[in-house]
Structure 1
Amino acid sequence: MSEYAGAYDAIGSKLEDCVDQRSHLLSFLSNKVSKLLPHAPQTALDLGCGTGEPASAYLASLGHKVTGLDFSETMVLLARTKVPNPNATFFQADMLTWEPPKGIHYDLVLASHCLYNFSADEIRSLVFKFAEWVKEDGFVVVGSAVRVQLLEEGIIQFDENGWAEAVPNTFIGHEFLSTYAMADTWRKLLESTGMKFVELEQGYYNRAGAGPEERTLVSFIIMHKDKDGKATGI
């Protein structure tokens, strides 16, 4: 994903100014994710951590040990500044090639709104990595979104496997080719790893001051890896 790292370097702090995902993500973290990690300190991997807010900052504030990963050098530098909590550590890396330190697994692997710029094949590969990186009896959470207007206008066309790839997308003044899927496709893929489906939470959101064309359907899927490490899907 190095071809997009420069774009996110340029976006930098504008991410927080232009995209109001803080409220719905923070609500989900507070209402759902915090209950998955009841005994601090536990360990969390925040993939595509961006500026570190709100996910890494919130989890670290609960006393958990958080590792934040992002391919943008600027985002990582911002995260280190914005989240000075010693419980949080941030690294620049591409999750496609990154591996945790030998023997390290996480109680929670969180991938929130960070997979759009990968191909469907790359996403499949990553999801199986998530299932490897999480501890036995741990959780994987994937957050995704689809802009409603693009669905209604037929701009997003799903293939026979439920994926829409290389969809042109303008994001904070930069052009991207994005990959989308609906929640049932995400669930099917996540279950194919052997993890067990726990819960789907969905809602419609729009950032303050945005027009109806930016109304977005957001989905969060929670998966569990059984204690035996086999985690047979339902």
Structure 2
Amino acid sequence: MLKTVLKTSLTRRRIIHGVVFDMDGTLITSAIDFSEMRRRAGLSPSDADILTALQRLDPKAKVAAMRAVHEVELEALTKMVLKEGVVEICQELDNFGIPRALLTRNMKESVDHFHVHQFRLPPFYPALCRETFPEHKPSPEPLRHIAALWGVDAAELAMVGDSPRDDVVAGNRAGAVTVLLRDPDTEWRPLDPEQTPHFTVSGLTEALEVLRRECVLVPPRERKGSAQCSLAGA
């Protein structure tokens, strides 16, 4: 198991009123072949951010490339598998009134498939994807939008994901607490300060343990009151 890594700037226990999860690689095992996606879309292997690269194409080429991206994502649906700890962390958040959202760069069909065929609890709300919100990670705007829906500040959210470039950067730019899921067998170093999470964990079970230990999880309805129903120390 990875040793939890604390970012030096987190000097006190932060109050968290809601948790936002990435989907691919976080809630599900990602089966998307991004190399094949780039090949079919006519992109270069050096185009790390596929969605950004697509925006540079002329309209006709962009339509064809998006069709190719969609095809690869559809093929991955049949291989979608729920990751360990998803049900447990979501049930515990639900039991204590902590809202949970889903934020993905994937398509709406993938989100719908996840909710219908993989996830047996009430759906994530909101569930934002590239088709339902105009901006995508690493922009902080989706997180700010979620915070506004819940009536809290973006700094009172936790962003949980497996991508330093997308999830961690989006969370850090929004001022949220960032939790990075990493394979314990994979050596990794942040490329720049924006990609440095507050915590690094090996899975969702440890993510919940870290949030309970290092933060104070309080339902939004108690934001201006006491934290009697918080998960801290539960």
TM-score range for the pair, normalised by the shorter chain length: 0.3 to 0.5
More strand by share: 1
Higher helix share: 2
Structure ID, larger Rg? 2
Higher RCO by CA contacts (8 Å cutoff, separation 6 or greater): 2
TM-score by length of 1: 0.39
